[in-house]
Structures are given as C-alpha cells and as structure tokens.
Amino acid sequence: NFQNLIRRGIRMWEESTCLRFRENMASRDAIRYVLEKGDSCFTEYIGRNGGHQDIIIGSECAEEYVVAHETGHALGFWHTHQRPDRFDSALEQRSDFFCFPH
C-alpha cells in the first residue's frame, strides 16, 4: 500500500544518514506525500519553505527509491549536475557518467 511505500522510501534515508522522520498527520509544517494517477513524480520545490510541501508520486512511478529521491529534493538536495556550484570542484570526465532512471 502507499503508506508502506512511503515508509520504505524514508527508511532508505534513515538507514544511511543520521536523519529521523516522524509521522504527524496534524502538522501544518510538514512534507506530505500525495499519490496521483500517472507517471509524474516531483517535489514542489527544492528545500523546505515552511507550511505543507507536497511530494507528488505518480502511480506509474511509485517505487521506494523514487520516494527517497523526491524526499531528498524536499530536504534541499539538488541533482549534482544542476547544483549552482557544479563546476567549482569537479572535473568533468564523461567516462565517469552513468545514467539511471528516476
């Protein structure tokens, strides 16, 4: 079910970081996970801005790694290739690039 999918995606963060999440259905300042029909998965914006922040999970891309990925955006993480400082410290080596669906 959808709630267990969300819990598994969040567990990926908890098992590999010091972050801990807590369910709070009454909060007015929280990340909300919304299941919608289709193949679109996204976060409203990068980082927390206060209030509810929806993470949309499309029924056709509802996987725990997608939940973990979009949660990362809600926490403020960008894709490495989109970060404003992406050219400051890394040398581009095309042989090091890998593509994974997300």
- Read off the pLDDT of residues 7-62 as tens digits, 9 standing for 90 and up: 999 999 999 999 999 999 899 899 999 999 999 899 988 998 889 999 999 999 89
82 pLDDT more than 80: no
What are the binding residues?
69, 73, 79
Q: CB neighbours (10 Å) of residue 6?
A: 21
Q: Which domains does the chain have, with CATH numbers?
A: 2-81 (3.40.390.10)
Catalytic positions are 70
Pick 86 or 5 by higher pLDDT: 5
Residue 39: CB partners within 8 Å, gap ≥ 6? 58, 60, 61
Q: How far apart are CA 98 and CA 42, in angstroms?
A: 21
Q: How far apart are CA 46 and CA 72, in angstroms?
A: 9
What are the binding residues for Zn(2+)?
69, 73, 79
pLDDT at 44: 86
- Residue 28: strand, helix, or coil: coil
Pick 20 or 91 by higher pLDDT: 20
